[in-house]
Amino acid sequence: MGEPIRFTLNGELAQTTVAPATRLTVLLRDGFGLTGTKVGCDAGDCGACTVLLDGAPVCACLVAAAQVAGARVVTIEGLAGETRKGADLQAAFLAHGAAQCGICTPGMLVAAAALLETLPRPAAGEIAEALGGVLCRCTGYRKIIAGVEAACDGTVAKTPMPAAGRAVGSRIERLDGEAKINGRESFGADAIPADALYVRAIRAPHHRAGFVLGEIGPWLKSHPGIVRVLTALDVPGRNLFGVIPAFADQPVFATAETRFKGEAIAAVVGEREAVAHLDLAGFPVAWNELPEHLSIDDALSPDAPLLHPSRPGNVLIEGRVSRGDVEKAMAAAPCRVEGTFETGFVEHAYVEPEAGWARRIGNRLEMTVSTQSPYLDRNDTAAILGIAPEDVRIVPSACGGGFGSKLDLSVQPFVALAAWATEKPCAMVYTRPESIAATTKRHPARMRSAIAAGRDGRLLAMDFSGEFNTGAYASWGPTVANRVPVHAAGPYVVPNYRAISRAVLTHCVPAGAFRGFGVPQTVIAQEQLLDMLADRLGIDPLEFRIANALGNDTPTVTGQVLGDGVGIRQCFEALRPHWTEANRAATAHNAANPMRRCGAGVAGMLYGCGNTSLPNPSTIRLGLKADGRLALHQGAVDIGQGSNTVIAQIAADAVGLPLGLVDLVSADTDLTPDCGKTSASRQTFVSGKAAERAGRALRHAMLRLANAGPDAAIEIAAGSILVRDQHLLRAVALASLATDRFGYVLCAEESFDPPTTPLDADGQGSPYAVYGFGAHLAEVEVDMRLGTVKVLSVTAAHDVGRAINPVLVEGQIEGGVAQGIGMALMEEFIPGGGENLHDYLIPTIGDVPPVRSILIECASSVGPFGAKGVGEQALIPTAPAILNAIARASGARMTRTPATPDRVLAAIKARGGSA
Amino acid sequence: MYARPRTLQEAVAALSQGHALLLAGGTDVYPAHVGQPLPEAIVDLSGVTEMRGIVIERDWIRIGGATTWSEVIAARLPPAFDCLKEAAREVGSLQIQNRGTVAGNLCNASPAADGVPPLLTLDAEVELAGPSGFRRLPLSSFITGYRRTALQPGEILASILVPRPVETQRSAFVKLGARRYLVISIVMVAASVGRDGKGQLTDVRVAVGSASAVAQRLPGLERDLEDLAPGIRPSTQVKPKHISSLTPIDDVRATAAYRKGAALELIGRALDRAAGA
């Protein structure tokens, strides 16, 4: 070890004797405990580790420890004290909803603080330039820009807490936001014990391969610091997992044959340094590459080998919905369009790679992990360890973005097995390449569809079939296959309908859940065909959609009549003035600019909240503590979307006490009842409804104590519950009440499971109790000679039933739009390549235009205060609206996404006479 | 061994002790080692002060090899360097520009290195320091292939030398990528033109990157545009024959055929901008 490295860290002198080439991220996080500097890629591609080095923003992952000698380093933890506007930026980010999951927030704040040191009033373009190096996957960047602009104006006041009964509908900042803006939020990799062993997986280098493990013993002996190698033989329970128990088919460690590139066959456990310096090339395994089939066609060919013997034809599952007489209606229809559309694998690209750690406590296992689904993790981990589910405790860390992929197991079985075997805390943090190679993706789809209408513009029939590449294992493939045929018609009345879906197994990384479970793919077909059909009929595309929109009393394709809360017509109608103006602006622009043509496009969406025809209850516990505060046991994991805040708002108003009295007890399988998984846009709706019920039950209990009527007002003051109805004020001293086993003087625990019915053989029934609706208008400019597409603006109207917190709803919409832009224009994962964030591109701050959110509130009688979900809904219509806009601007109809410049230009050249 | 020398001489001496990895801004070295350790032997050039900064000499402008892209952007330089500054602004992100160095960009020798086309139009040379002293090479002979250079073991790219351009030479850089920031180019073009007394084009220089293993100048096009009359937009003169030397490939970013067409279009746009047309 050479000279110590001395430098100034957040204004204080610091020194270290760490190895000089150590990344500055490692030095800050492990050496100084400053875990606010996040690691997203270790390659300068994401900017999450941005710190100031002598005042200049740099990626700490690219700086050698030796290079900070004599320099000043400022991290998120020192930003408020060491920069002029750091504290104002932090307050403004919180007030404007600029932090969702919070993983990019430190990097964003540091980059923004550097900008405001030199430019007190930056223009929009200068803000974008300064923040262009930090990726955010949640917010769509617009609220970040708003936060920076607000900080320029001075200190932003904290949003005041709403009065009793006023929480629902108020634009309050997120209740768990403070830790997200000061760097103290603890994500999966942030609180790993110093003495933890680290785990690294040995993964298949081929799409499909046989393998033989060599002698582990000698290899282990020659690698000091490595304490254990785990293989399939070391799994005490079942070497199998899967999010849908009936379909579980994925081994923790493959045996004999691997089915996708990146599949684990073993794991190495050892001391941190030893694991970090491991050269895995020498690991004793002999690979035998086998012929693979990566495409749907190859997998379906009659001579294709089966991935799983129990799955004939490599078909995992089929879904089907049928209504009316499609053949007859198609044959008789005067106007018909059809087309084939294809989409690619899409990577979730959350900025936080999978991470967590576990320890064995006696015969129980405790795991802290970044997850969307603590109870699914618990049950599968227990089965792998061969112990009872109650003997596994999952404590979710903060989740730095999930979007569906953190519903599945990633690090969980590895750290669990390692901790169980070694009886030491064991941690695992995926690298970015590992995260991209080994975790689930959005299903690539190939969809053929035909739609027919009458001359009057009424939809008559639709015939859809879609194949979805589900990769090597089931994951959420069955859910996609079931959702697709229910949703493929979109939010329209289609009297004669047939939709068939198939999930096809290939030697690709498993495709699973990704914001929308297959529905974002189907709208790419449906909404483009609707535009083609409207053109054929000579009807304005927006009016065509309005004329065919579902209503409260018209049946969906499954024959369900919702009765209330169907706001799709209102969404489309809200777009009307913007649509008219966008078309006028595009026409004017195009007259003067033949080579950069503008166009506007619209698309609509419906999306069922919660599981498809399956139970998915949530349970909420709400306790009144002896000190008069409320404890909300809220097990709906907040992955950035805001359940910690929204569910508290609902609970507070249901009780009738101020939100400020609510203390959160967040997801922990030992402390919070099961709120199911954070997916399917179900938390606001399902867990929110459970919270509403728990709140009303607690209120009822308080009223009963005071013998008061249902309309009485409740207050907590001077150590008493004060209940005031028309005539009388009654006080119940809190001290006079006994505490229950949870330590509460009053407690309510309530569940809600959405009322659905099973689908029959034709897919008829009520698969969801509530649907969310929405419609987007995209304006684009197409460079006619390069095929590049710039999205100029998006107007998004969403029927959310009731906006419990409009700031958070807008945040979901803006973030969904950004992911829709990515899906439409740039995102595609090619199995086997591009396992990094410079080949796999997601939108930067320069790619997301202003988003105008229009909130429609057609209340659902089922949801809490009328609310429905919006998380997935927000993403679904963006891509087809953009694709329709491209067609209107350029004449190019995009049948393959993403619409990269080469594909758009080819389509422009191929458009022939149809433009 | 981790050496952080203060002088070029010390750096060459440290390098002579064995095979070591050269590190400066780290923007290529660390991404090449995700999930794996760096080699033991490293010579860190970031402390070599004589490799930092830009000096205008009598006949040459000398860019120290360890000069960052942000320093290039901030430097006062003749307009012929505008294309280099515009390219500097397109290197990764601000964070990358604050660390990444000009020499690192050249030594990494990626076909998509943003710095190479502008420096080719500037007729840059590189000065290599080695155990037996200095040697100079034109940039066009320094980069020899896909991620290959003429750098010999023991050598360091110490400076980039650009012959002082006339103040009337104008330049532009255009980069085409699939998103706004942090993007690897699909195609990029640097162009530089002068005007003679009659307003005709003179000293035309065009270089294209990401469309062949090594970025290249297009001498045929440059010749054909010489003496172009003032009223004519140079883009109207760019023909497919002018890019016959480009050999683009199909990859995740675009098809080869697309790259050829885009190169033609971007060459015209860069030339028109440089020519003020």
**Which of A 258-277 lie inside 8 A of B, CB atoms?**
276-277
Residue range B40-47: mean pLDDT, rounded: 97
Query: Would you call A136 an interface residue with chain B, using a CB distance cutoff of 8 Å?
Result: no
Residue of B nearest to A55 (CA): B98
Q: Mean pLDDT score of chain A, rounded to an integer?
A: 97
Residue range A256-265: mean pLDDT, rounded: 97
DSSP, residue by residue, B187-240? EEEEEEEEE-TTS-EEEEEEEEESSSSS-EE-HHHHHHHTT--TTS-GGGG--G
A500 in Cβ contact with A289 (< 8 Å): no
A105 in Cβ contact with A93 (< 8 Å): yes
A442 in Cβ contact with A214 (< 8 Å): no
Do B34 and A433 lie within an 8 Å CB cutoff?
A: yes
pLDDT digit string, tens, across residues A680-694 = 999 999 999 999 999
B41 in Cβ contact with B21 (< 8 Å): yes
Residue range A113-117: mean pLDDT, rounded: 98
Residue range B174-181: mean pLDDT, rounded: 96
Residue range A75-99: mean pLDDT, rounded: 98
What local confidence, expressed as pLDDT, does residue A913 receive? Answer: 40
Which value does ipTM take for this structure? 0.98
Do B92 and A50 lie within an 8 Å CB cutoff?
A: no
Residue range A889-907: mean pLDDT, rounded: 97
B126 in Cβ contact with B159 (< 8 Å): yes
CB contacts < 8 A, A to B, total: 153
Residue of A nearest to B268 (CA): A785
What's the predicted TM-score (pTM) here?
0.98
Residue range A873-880: mean pLDDT, rounded: 98
Contacts of A30 (CB under 8 A, 6+ apart): none
Collect contacts of A69-74 with beta carbons under 8 A, ≥24 apart. Answer: A69/A5, A69/A6, A69/A7, A69/B4, A70/A6, A70/A7, A71/A7, A71/A8, A72/A7, A72/A8, A73/A7, A73/A8, A73/A9, A73/A10, A73/A24, A73/A28, A74/A10, A74/A11, A74/A110
- Work out the number of other CB atoms within 10 angstroms of the CB of residue A309: 6
What local confidence, expressed as pLDDT, does residue A154 receive? Answer: 86
What torsion, rounded to 10 degrees, do the Cα atoms A558, A563, A567, A573 define?
A: 100
pLDDT digit string, tens, across residues B12-31 = 999 998 889 999 999 999 99
pLDDT digit string, tens, across residues B96-147 = 999 999 999 999 999 999 999 999 999 999 999 999 999 999 999 999 999 9
Looking at chain A, the whole-number percentage of residues with pLDDT higher than 70 is: 99
Q: Give chain B positions within 8 Å (CB) of A23.
A: 30
DSSP, residue by residue, A860-881? -SSSGGG----TTTTTTTHHHH
- Work out the number of other CB atoms within 10 angstroms of the CB of residue A286: 10
Pairing of strands A72-74, A5-9: parallel
Closest-CA residue to B94 (of A78, A123, A44, A61): A44
CA separation for the pair A655, A164 (Å, rounded): 9
In what helix (H) or strand (E) does residue A234 lie, and over which residues does it extend? none
Above 60 in pLDDT, residue A29? Answer: yes
Above 70 in pLDDT, residue A915? Answer: no
What local confidence, expressed as pLDDT, does residue A652 receive? Answer: 98
Q: Give chain A positions within 8 Å (CB) of B99.
A: 58-59, 62-63
Above 90 in pLDDT, residue A726? Answer: no
Pairing of strands A662-666, A713-717: unpaired
Query: Would you call A839 an interface residue with chain B, using a CB distance cutoff of 8 Å?
Result: yes
What local confidence, expressed as pLDDT, does residue A912 receive? Answer: 62
The structure tokens 């149809």 sit at: A914
- Work out the number of other CB atoms within 10 angstroms of the CB of residue A552: 13
Above 90 in pLDDT, residue A159? Answer: no
pLDDT digit string, tens, across residues A580-630 = 999 999 999 999 999 999 999 999 999 999 999 999 999 999 999 999 999
Above 70 in pLDDT, residue A34? Answer: yes
Query: Would you call A844 an interface residue with chain B, using a CB distance cutoff of 8 Å?
Result: yes
